[in-house]
Chains A and B, each alone.
Chain A
């Protein structure tokens, strides 16, 4: 399998049904996140003080790096049709989610939940929706892994490309969310 895919020349979005479908889906999802991010920004000022006092930037930055590097491992997995890079991607995604989980636990323990001020409402909605998308991505990655184990040679390279495209999107959304929510408190 890995040999059959030429380096840097995957199926193209403009001609492949699956890739185009994922691309169109991502475009639509972007509008969804845009709406939520705009709502976050609309209420940013009201929640800024709470955000500054409670968000742990360095810690989240480390978990973010896990997610960002999972984009690289995903690219490698797609390029080589490689199972181990796939596993690495899943692991990094899971680390990110665990980080989010512990961040939530910490905030909830200090009394900040979705019902606590506008900050809680917007923060948990935005990061929660992103988290759900990461979870969805992980499910897709698992399915890909399972398919890869079951029928190693029959799997079309486009499956990697498609899941990868989605994973990069989830990653890109986090770039925006991290900037707006976390780095935004530094402004």
Chain B
């Protein structure tokens, strides 16, 4: 058996220097590794939450631990797991897909990764320094002001997020320039794979959204450390300013977290349907529409704040409007399958699972955009259910699909399909068992972020079901971990093009050489590899 190609040696035989590498593929793997590690940590925190909530008036953990756990769980999953995972895939795949030897600024790329990681480490360092932040992932003022959160937790939150965000912004600049300027000959912007399109849109969203978060963090820092009054009502400040700034970042952030996953399944579904994507222009264009709209919906997180009926109605309208371009994507994916020859591999199963679950989360999202309904269920478990349906049912299933699909390219080895299917079905069952009941819990009155609930509320049984679901989900994740480790050691050798793929990453070896392609490919259509394999049936585009 040859040595592990992935983390020990480069295809050239030389050892990988993980600390010093500037190769986009290796940095991509570093990002993915960071995401996997933090996903496991965030998942364990989630299990702690679920364990505490399994029974009413439980005393398993004290309230302060619980508050830290959900705050760090949210921040970890969003900024330290999902975003790095998606950025990691983008780093690895974008240059390969556009036929480029590397990203535009390889050294800056390494900087982005290390900043993102250091930001995460700073956040976690708070545990050693007297307590993690415990004010929720959106850390509303004035609760996050020093008078109500005197510990250092929130300061670690500020510095950690600012550093992590700087890394993400630099990464987005890099990807934007790479996609705009480094496409190989013939790779017009109307021909780039949809994953690349969505990465471009995501990068632009990052560039527009993250600075608002940084600005808010700076202001909070001034308040906490220099005695400022930005969010201090006693000093004339307004507490809603924080909310405006945070959600101006926070809503685009949710699309930052779903568009690349949508890009992944836009690659996977056509390949396993044996057909080109249906409505390429609409799938790409709808992303632009989503990006545009997503800067105009932030106040739907603030319907209960009392902004006024007119403001609320306007933000409700823009929020509902986002369902239209999102629906366009869903319908095009289904139309891609229609008339195809569908190979239900694990990757395809996860892609189909993405659509199935994301629709549920999307529909609950639209119901939240309806102001009176939001007033009934905002800040309740209904919202928790919504966000996990889109983020786990959507993004994470998309990432799993991408993992099964591209793992062979990254490592030269296939993941096991048998374990993969087990992973899928266990995830599917565990996920729905965990989060479906939360819709009811929210509707009947269970607020989010409560470390316990009175037995008299009757919320016990559904919470128990939810906790059992989380345990099944944990088993599913262990199955995935086993699959990863086993395949890295002794997985079936994949070959360059195990799925009969369409796009350029499959035109080079697995894993690809340092320069990606021995010769720069020339492209005449949207499916360059298909064209090469079927010269008689070339795409017209």
Interface residues of A (CB under 8 A from B): 15, 17, 20-21, 24-25, 27-29, 31-32, 35-36, 39, 42-43, 46, 113-115, 117-118, 120-122, 124-125, 129
Q: Is the CB of B227 within 8 A of A125?
A: no
Q: 18 A-B pairs, CB-CB below 8 angstroms?
A: A17-B104, A17-B182, A21-B173, A25-B173, A27-B207, A28-B173, A28-B207, A28-B211, A31-B208, A31-B209, A32-B211, A32-B214, A35-B245, A114-B222, A115-B228, A121-B230, A124-B222, A124-B226
List which B98-112 residues lie within 8 A (CB) of chain A. Answer: 104-105
| Contact residues of A: prevailing secondary structure | helix
Q: Does B184 have its Cβ within 8 Å of any Cβ on chain A?
A: no
A125 to B105, CA, bound (A): 32
Smallest CB–CB gap between A32 and chain B, Å? 4
Extra 14 A-B pairs, beta carbons < 8 Å, given A21-B104, A43-B230, A114-B222: A17-B104, A17-B181, A21-B173, A21-B177, A28-B208, A31-B209, A32-B215, A35-B216, A39-B219, A39-B241, A114-B228, A115-B226, A117-B229, A121-B223
A36 to B208, CA, bound (A): 14
A146 to B390, CA, bound (A): 51
Q: Please, which residue of chain B has its CB at the minimum distance from the CB of A122?
A: B230
Q: Is the CB of A118 within 8 A of B219?
A: no
Q: Is the CB of B227 within 8 A of A24?
A: no
Residues in B whose Cβ lies below 8 Å from that of A32: 211-212, 214-215
Given A114-B226, A114-B228, A121-B229, do A35 and B210 touch, yes or no (CB 8 Å)?
Answer: no
Residues in A whose Cβ lies below 8 Å from that of B241: 39, 42
Q: Is the CB of B177 within 8 A of A24?
A: yes
Residues in B whose Cβ lies below 8 Å from that of A121: 222-223, 226, 228-230, 235, 237
A24 to B177, CA, bound (A): 8
Residues in B whose Cβ lies below 8 Å from that of A28: 169, 172-173, 207-208, 210-211
A42 to B237, CA, bound (A): 9
Q: Is the CB of B222 within 8 A of A15?
A: no
A-B contact count (CB 8 A): 92
Q: Is the CB of B177 within 8 A of A43?
A: no
Q: Does B367 have its Cβ within 8 Å of any Cβ on chain A?
A: no
Type the 1/0 row for B219-246, where 1 means its CB is closer than 8 Å to any CB of A: 1001100111110000111100100010
Q: Is the CB of B181 within 8 A of A15?
A: yes
Residues in A whose Cβ lies below 8 Å from that of B180: 20
Residues in A whose Cβ lies below 8 Å from that of B287: none
Q: Does B68 have its Cβ within 8 Å of any Cβ on chain A?
A: no
Residues in A whose Cβ lies below 8 Å from that of B181: 15, 17, 20
Q: Is the CB of A35 within 8 A of B173?
A: no
Q: Is the CB of B228 within 8 A of A46?
A: no
A36 to B237, CA, bound (A): 14
Q: Is the CB of A118 within 8 A of B236?
A: yes
| Contact residues of B: prevailing secondary structure | helix
Given A32-B215, A121-B222, do A115 and B210 touch, yes or no (CB 8 Å)?
Answer: no
A89 to B26, CA, bound (A): 40
A117 to B236, CA, bound (A): 8
Q: Please, which residue of chain B has its CB at the minimum distance from the CB of A28?
A: B207
A149 to B248, CA, bound (A): 45
Given A39-B241, A114-B228, A125-B222, do A20 and B215 touch, yes or no (CB 8 Å)?
Answer: no
Q: Is the CB of A31 within 8 A of B219?
A: no
Partner of B235, one of A24, A25, A117: A117
Q: Please, which residue of chain B has its CB at the minimum distance from the CB of A35?
A: B215
Q: Does B463 have its Cβ within 8 Å of any Cβ on chain A?
A: no
A21 to B222, CA, bound (A): 30
Type the 1/0 row for B74-91, where 1 means its CB is closer than 8 Å to any CB of A: 000000000000000000
Residues in A whose Cβ lies below 8 Å from that of B236: 43, 46, 117-118
Residues in B whose Cβ lies below 8 Å from that of A35: 211-212, 215-216, 245, 248
Given A17-B177, A21-B105, A121-B229, do A129 and B218 touch, yes or no (CB 8 Å)?
Answer: yes
Residues in A whose Cβ lies below 8 Å from that of B378: none
Q: Does B176 have its Cβ within 8 Å of any Cβ on chain A?
A: yes
Q: Is the CB of A29 within 8 A of B211?
A: yes
Q: Is the CB of B177 within 8 A of A115?
A: no
Q: Is the CB of A118 within 8 A of B237?
A: yes
Smallest CB–CB gap between B291 and chain A, Å? 14
List which B169-188 residues lie within 8 A (CB) of chain A. Answer: 169, 172-174, 176-177, 180-182
A163 to B222, CA, bound (A): 29
List which B244-301 residues lie within 8 A (CB) of chain A. Answer: 245, 248
Smallest CB–CB gap between A141 and chain B, Å? 20
Smallest CB–CB gap between B413 and chain A, Å? 35
A21 to B181, CA, bound (A): 10
Q: Is the CB of B207 within 8 A of A42?
A: no
Residues in B whose Cβ lies below 8 Å from that of A31: 207-209, 211-212
Residues in B whose Cβ lies below 8 Å from that of A42: 238, 241
Residues in B whose Cβ lies below 8 Å from that of A46: 236
Given A17-B177, A118-B237, A125-B222, do A24 and B215 touch, yes or no (CB 8 Å)?
Answer: no
